Amino acid sequence: MVEMAGRALGLGEAVEHALRFGEAIGAYQVEAYAYRIKQVTLRVMKTVPAVSTSFTSGLSIRAATRENVGFAYTTSLRPNLVEDAVKKALENARAKGRDEHFRSLPPPVEAKPLEAPVDESITGLAKEDLLEYYGAMRDVVEGSGKRVALVGGLMRGMDTSFILANSLGLEYERRRAIFMASAYGLALDEVPPAEGWDYLITDRLDEFSPEAMGEKVVEEVCSFKRAREVELKGDLDVIFRPEALSDMLWLLTEAVKAENVDRGATPFGRERLGEQVASESLTILDDPRSSENPARGPRDMEGVPTREVTVIERGMLEAYLTDYYHALKWGVEPTGSCLRMPDRAPFVDHWFLRLEGPEEHMEELVEEVGRGFLIRDVMGIHQSDFRSGRFSIPASGWLVEGGEIRKPVRRIMMSGSLPDLLMKADAISKERKRLFGLTRGSFPALRARGIHLVATRSPLSHRIAMRIASLLARLGIIKVV
């Protein structure tokens, strides 16, 4: 088995070699996942772009005894290192002892076909292409006349191939091409400067326009210029823009993952299945097969067929997201919700969220708010307690009074809990945005009634100093960037 020790194996060879070797050293079952990734990347840091091309490959292994399963990985596809990874995975399984709930790795099950063509214009991207995109975007921002600078961002074209197989006969081979772009701008005429950003992830390069992204960054920066601080406290109406809602729903995705539910680290325990946990107007689904999901596939990352999962239907808790292990433990059908990273064992997570409910245009959502905030972004939600769903986080947005957006506001604190927030949701916007941040999906804006917020002002001396600095910035005496 070491006659090829001097050269790296192909993906198929590495998987086959790992499976044969695992069986030869006494593993009950073996799973091998081999991958190869090409990335062309442009990063912008403090207005300076840097481009690079990288190639990575590797193999991750799950080896099982009849009592447990272990994991190991290698970043080399040389046969001797593949064998070392298999040995370590099997040693880990034996060291973990008996798990009374472990039964098996997933067997082969037929999956409904799914169309997801590879865009060769993404796989063929070169560093020169990304520099050209960046130049076009920068020209739009700098030529806007709005005194905005493009100070940060990322563009990346990814060409990923992988083969997943196990000793039960499961085989899954896939190639995906994904392009992502983000841009971040700052106002040059005030202190602290207004910020603005835009983001796109797609498997079709023709959906990307650097000029449109540059225009959006300018629009976002200018919409938040001259932000003020106000004194306001109470249970107010809140509209979460898609970017803010995407972050807030991280609490939900953590709450419905099988491992968190299994150990009681969720406000939505199994005893609540079938109970009302959200407003009757709200339905939330995980839709891995959505044509909008650039990472869509017919199987999850342990080979189980993917399917649409209705997590909450008209406010009722209907399902959790499971891997094969927890599905067997609970005696339910697996949801095909297993993802993986090269250096991690497969894990449960959502694929691509979709919200349904009463829809209104964004301006209509605002018109029905007497007093509250349109929340632009939230910070630190990942540090909240997903076990209870409680959060207390800073945010920024626009003050809304009498159904009109009045002014941008800094220094907002928002507190509450996920269950309370979901119960108070009453409408979503027709407008949606595809986002891949803390959560992934096609997100609308969401309005919730009676969320506790506190807006405060900084000390007078600080406000005066900032106004003086802003005046100096507008006069060009000091530079923001």
Give the per-residue pLDDT at 413.
96
Cα-trace Rg, the chain: 25
Q: What is the pLDDT of residues 343-384, one digit of tens each?
A: 899 999 999 999 999 999 999 999 999 999 999 999 999 888
Give the per-residue pLDDT at 313.
98
Percent of the chain with pLDDT strictly greater than 90: 89
Quick check: helix, strand or coil at residue 464? helix
Quick check: helix, strand or coil at residue 460? helix
Of how many residues is the chain composed?
Answer: 481
CA-to-CA distance for 327 and 293, rounded, in angstroms? 24
Looking at per-residue confidence, does 469 or 331 come out higher?
331
Give the per-residue pLDDT at 45.
86
For residue 209, give every residue at least 6 positions away whose Cβ sits within 8 Å of its Cβ, in sequence order, or none. Answer: none
Strand segments, DSSP code E, in 188-226 are 195-202
Query: Averaged over 227-246, what is the pLDDT?
Result: 96
- CATH 3.30.2290.10 positions along the chain are 11-223
For residue 247, give every residue at least 6 positions away whose Cβ sits within 8 Å of its Cβ, in sequence order, or none. Answer: 377, 378, 381, 437, 438, 439
Q: What is the pLDDT of residues 125-171, one digit of tens each?
A: 999 999 999 999 999 999 999 999 999 999 999 999 999 999 999 99
CA-to-CA distance for 82 and 85, rounded, in angstroms? 5
Give the per-residue pLDDT at 159.
98
Give the per-residue pLDDT at 470.
63
Give the per-residue pLDDT at 472.
57
Q: How big, in percent rounded to 5, are the helix, strand and coil portions of the chain?
A: 25, 40, 35
Quick check: helix, strand or coil at residue 74? strand
**pLDDT band at residue 457 under the 50/70/90 scheme:** confident
Give the per-residue pLDDT at 177.
98
pTM to 2 decimal places: 0.92
Give the per-residue pLDDT at 147.
95
Give the per-residue pLDDT at 464.
66
Give the per-residue pLDDT at 342.
84
Quick check: helix, strand or coil at residue 382? helix
Asked whether 360 and 367 are in contact (CB, 8 A), the reply is: no
Give the per-residue pLDDT at 383.
86
Give the per-residue pLDDT at 473.
60
Give the per-residue pLDDT at 103.
96
Give the per-residue pLDDT at 3.
45
Q: What is the pLDDT of residues 259-275, one digit of tens each?
A: 999 999 999 999 999 99
Helix or strand run (H / E) with residue 328: helix 324-330
Does the structure show a pLDDT above 70 at 293? yes
Beta bridge partners of 238: 373, 448
Percent of the chain with pLDDT strictly greater than 70: 94
Query: Averaged over 208-222, what is the pLDDT?
Result: 98
Does the structure show a pLDDT above 70 at 465? no
Looking at per-residue confidence, does 383 or 396 come out higher?
396
Does the structure show a pLDDT above 50 at 400? yes
Query: Averaged over 433-441, what is the pLDDT?
Result: 94
CA-to-CA distance for 366 and 96, rounded, in angstroms? 55
Is domain 11-223 classified as CATH 3.30.2290.10?
Answer: yes
**pLDDT band at residue 56 under the 50/70/90 scheme:** very high
Angle CA 370–376–381, to nearest 5: 110
Asked whether 237 and 426 are in contact (CB, 8 A), the reply is: no
Q: What is the pLDDT of residues 2-48, one digit of tens each?
A: 444 568 999 999 999 999 999 999 999 999 999 999 999 999 988 88
Whose structure tokens read 């006494």?
A: 26
